[in-house]
Amino acid sequence: MSLLKSRDVLLGGAILVLLALIASRFPGFVAPSNLVRVFTDTSPLLILALGQTVVILTRCIDLSVAANLALTGMVCAMLNAAAPGVPVAVILTMAVALGALMGMVNGVMVWKLSIPPIVVTLGTMTIYRGIIFLISEGAWVNAHEMSAAFTDFPRVQILGLPVLAWVGIAAALGMALLIARTPLGRAFYAVGGNPHAAVYTGISVGKTQFWAFTLSGALAGLCGYLWVARYAVAYVDIAGGFELEVVAACVIGGISIAGGAGTILGTILGALFLGIIKNALPVIHISPFWQMAISGTAIIVAVTLNSRKSKGKGRIILRRAQDGALEGAKA
Q: What pLDDT digit, counting tens, does each position of 233-250 carry? A: 999 889 888 888 899 899
Asked if residue 315 has pLDDT above 50, the reply is no
SS3 141: strand
| pLDDT tens digit sequence for 286-304 | 776 776 777 677 778 777 7
Q: What is the mean pLDDT of residues 123-148?
A: 92
Cα(40)–Cα(91) distance, integer angstroms: 21
pLDDT at position 307 is: 65
| pLDDT tens digit sequence for 57-92 | 999 999 999 999 999 999 999 999 999 989 999 999
Please, which residues have CB within 8 angstroms of residue 283's CB and are 6 or more apart in sequence?
22, 26, 29
Cα(207)–Cα(111) distance, integer angstroms: 7
**What are φ and ψ of residue 196, in 5° steps?**
-70, -45
- The model scores a pTM over 0.85: yes
Higher pLDDT pick, 313 / 205: 205
> 156-159 — which CB contacts under 8 Å span 24+ positions?
none
Could you give the angle at the alpha carbon of 276 between the alpha carbons of 234 and 57, nearest 5°? 80
pLDDT at position 219 is: 96
Q: What is the mean pLDDT of the chain?
A: 86
Strand boundaries in 113-183, DSSP class E: 157-158, 161-162
pLDDT at position 319 is: 44
Question: What percent of the chain is predicted at pLDDT more than 70?
Answer: 89
Higher pLDDT pick, 64 / 311: 64
Length of the chain in residues, anyone? Answer: 331
pLDDT at position 291 is: 67
Asked if residue 317 has pLDDT above 70, the reply is no
- Position 210 confidence tier, pLDDT thresholds 50, 70, 90: very high
pLDDT at position 329 is: 46
Cα(29)–Cα(241) distance, integer angstroms: 26
Strand partners, 110: none
Q: What is the mean pLDDT of residues 269-288?
A: 84
Helix (H) or strand (E) holding 280, with range, is helix 264-283
Please report the domains of the chain, with CATH numbers, ordered by start residue. 3-330 (1.10.3470)
